[in-house]
């Protein structure tokens, strides 16, 4: 049942300026794994609210909250049953209101996750569509079709679910419905005006409550090609993000976001739209952030880049060039709730990419992760930080099968199914699990935390000048205070040895050594910060250094 509140929360006023999002550092909170206020082992909104001062001290500008809506939790809340209600596991709408108000009081902005491509099969619309049967008007709000074959026993087309298997499920009356993800997540038909009207109303509901913007899940997936044509490819998953597909990155999505932008522009405080858009090229990503559409789009090309100087320079140049014509800021991100944490991703000496699951060399992974973070924070534009990366957390690679909850883990031929490894609750304090995640010593956490995390907690790292947490705090403070960091469109590349990225931005210089050996490098000015111990005239192996010149 939808919960209601009367009064909206006020957006931050201190330091507000047009285009705050152009240089913002945005911290992703995965609510179930951030902080548990009531000891049930599941993070919640009150837990997030209690930790807002930590995020303020860390130095971020905004908090992006992964879904907390009413949901059966078939896909960790990305199967929404009611977009205007809070799932009881996370609290109430009053808790959301209090969180937004307190964040604004601290000068932090709140971005909420919006899931418009699909809903839960427990959403009232879908349940009614099932009851009303073939030919009903409610079914037109989804993609119901007759099957192929003599008796309709075959799916309507050859599309595959991102989680593996057919993207179609047959219901008792013989029709099939489309779900690009789990069967519990039926896709909306965005050609239907009722769907468009409903989401415009949902936008206003959260904007009225005080939300500062929306991260739009599967922003590239809302519109499907007319007629839902067969793809005709044997391995469709390899095409994801590499080619335009009949169910992804269709041109029709852009008119939807133009209509949304008009709504956001009615509100004060620079409300923002952020696209999760997996596209074949950064040039196609740039189409989502034209002046009358969204404000930002995740730079997945950068996230997928190896720890390699030449590869990084190419994607940095390409990203900046793609965003320049549309006047949008480039975004940079290294980790999120769907990919291997970069401290693990970079742990293999060969520099394997996002799907690395081996333990690798943890010390090497952390060293590279620290260097990669400093490189990212020095680049022009906006940066995203995933909860726990400031602690240097690795993926938990040895979770037993019986505790896993990632739906793709239970389906063959889909994603690798190991996203739980980057979703383990983060450690705050103490020497044994749950490390302050919940209020009870030795209490539960929805995924088990490793014994090795005692030394990685916020408490253990605070005040240690060599810790990853203090490196993040220092880097974010310098980024905020230095006049030549943050927003911008250009870097001035400097001559550097092979494997080294060196660039200047006004009176600031950054150099990142992606090789495993120290490299001679003449200091261009006064050293501000380094990701690893530095000797004069040398860049440390797998290290990044900042200077003021």
Q: Cβ of 185: how many Cβ atoms within 10 Å?
A: 26
3-state helix, strand, coil split of the chain in percent (to 5) is: 30, 15, 55
**Residue 276 among the catalytic residues:** yes
- Is 80 in contact with 123 (CB distance < 8 Å)? yes
Cis peptide before 434 (omega within 30 of 0): yes
Cα(76)–Cα(332) distance, integer angstroms: 25
| Two structure tokens written together for 64 | 């992006």
CA atoms within 13 A of residue 539's CA, in its CB half-sphere: 28
DSSP structural state of residue 181: S
Cα(99)–Cα(227) distance, integer angstroms: 44
The strand pair at 62-65 and 25-29 is best described as parallel
Identify whether 197 is a catalytic site residue. no
Q: How would you label 361-389 residue by residue, b for 16+ Cβ within 10 Å and e otherwise? A: eeebbbbbbbbbbbbbbbbbbbbbbbbbb
CB 185 within 8 A of CB 119: yes
247's tokens: 């169910």
Give the separation between CA 524 and CA 508, rounded to whole angstroms: 9
| Active-site option among 82, 217, 395, 406 | 217
Q: What is the DSSP string of 489-513?
A: S--EE----TTEEEEEETTEEEEEE
Q: Hey, what's the torsion of the CAs at 368, 374, 380, 383, to 10 degrees? A: 80
Give the H or E element holding residue 24: none
Q: Name every residue whose Cβ is closer than 8 Å to that of residue 26 and which is 6 or more positions away in sequence.
A: 60, 61, 62, 63, 64, 111, 382, 383, 384, 385
The enclosing H or E element of 470 equals helix 468-481
Query: Which candidate, 264, 336, 326, places its Cα nearest to that of 304?
Result: 336
Distance CA 358, CA 345 (A): 9
Of the residues 276, 293, 395, 542, which is catalytic?
276
Task: Report the first-to-last Cα separation within the chain, whole angstroms.
Answer: 59
Token match 């909306």: residue? 188
Contact 34, 391 (CB under 8 A): no
The answer to whether the CB of 55 falls within 8 A of the CB of 108 is: yes
Both structure tokens of 105? 């009081």
Structure tokens at 386: 């995933």
| CA-based nearest residue to 294, from 268, 320, 275, 270 | 275
Active-site positions read 217, 276
């Amino acid at each position: 049942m939808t919960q209601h509140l009367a009064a909206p929360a006020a957006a931050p006023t201190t330091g507000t300026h047009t285009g705050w999002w152009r240089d913002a550092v945005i911290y992703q909170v995965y609510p179930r794994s951030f902080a548990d206020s009531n000891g049930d082992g599941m993070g919640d909104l009150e837990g997030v609210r209690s930790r807002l001062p930590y995020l303020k001290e860390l130095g971020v500008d905004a908090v992006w909250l992964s879904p907390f809506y009413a949901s059966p939790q078939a896909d960790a809340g990305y199967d929404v049953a009611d977009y205007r209600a809070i799932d009881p596991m996370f609290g109430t709408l009053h808790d959301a209101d209090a969180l937004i108000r307190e964040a604004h009081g601290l000068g932090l902005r709140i971005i909420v996750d919006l899931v418009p491509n699909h809903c839960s099969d427990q959403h009232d619309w879908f349940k009614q569509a099932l009851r009303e049967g073939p030919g009903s008007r409610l079914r037109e709000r989804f993609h119901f079709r007759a099957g192929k074959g003599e008796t309709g026993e075959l799916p309507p087309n050859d599309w595959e679910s991102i989680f593996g298997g057919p993207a179609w499920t047959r219901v008792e009356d013989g029709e099939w419905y489309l779900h690009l993800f789990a069967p519990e997540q039926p896709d909306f038909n965005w050609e239907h005006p009722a769907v468009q009207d409903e989401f415009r109303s949902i936008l206003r509901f959260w904007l009225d409550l005080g939300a500062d913007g929306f991260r739009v899940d599967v922003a590239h997936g809302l519109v499907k090609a007319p007629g839902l044509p067969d793809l005709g490819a044997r391995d469709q998953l390899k095409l994801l993000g590499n080619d335009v597909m009949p169910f992804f990155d269709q041109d029709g999505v852009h008119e939807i976001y133009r209509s949304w932008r008009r709504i956001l522009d009615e509100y004060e405080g620079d409300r923002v739209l952020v696209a999760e858009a997996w596209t074949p090229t950064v040039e196609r990503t740039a189409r989502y952030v034209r002046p009358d559409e969204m404000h930002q789009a995740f730079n997945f090309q950068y996230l997928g880049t190896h720890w390699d100087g030449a590869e990084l320079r190419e994607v940095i140049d390409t990203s900046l060039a793609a965003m320049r014509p549309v006047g949008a800021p480039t975004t940079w991100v290294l980790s999120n709730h769907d990919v291997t944490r970069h401290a693990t991703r970079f742990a293999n000496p060969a520099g394997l990419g996002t799907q690395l699951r081996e333990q690798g060399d943890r010390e090497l992974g952390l060293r590279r992760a620290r260097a990669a973070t400093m490189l990212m924070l020095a680049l022009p534009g906006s940066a995203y930080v995933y909860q726990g990366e400031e602690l240097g957390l690795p993926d938990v690679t040895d979770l037993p099968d019986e505790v896993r909850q990632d739906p793709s883990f239970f389906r063959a031929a889909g994603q690798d199914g190991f996203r739980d490894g980057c979703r383990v609750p983060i450690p705050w304090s103490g020497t044994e699990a749950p490390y302050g995640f919940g209020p009870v010593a030795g209490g539960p956490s929805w995924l088990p935390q490793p014994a090795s995390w005692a030394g990685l907690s916020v408490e253990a790292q605070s005040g240690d000048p060599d810790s990853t947490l203090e490196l993040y705090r220092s880097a974010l403070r310098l980024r905020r205070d230095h006049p030549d960091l943050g927003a911008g469109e250009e870097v001035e590349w400097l001559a550097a040895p092979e494997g080294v990225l060196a660039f200047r931005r006004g009176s600031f210089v950054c150099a990142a050594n992606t090789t495993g050996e120290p490299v001679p490098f003449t200091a261009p000015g006064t050293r501000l910060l380094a990701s690893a111990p530095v000797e004069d005239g040398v860049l440390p192996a797998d290290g990044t250094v900042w200077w003021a010149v």
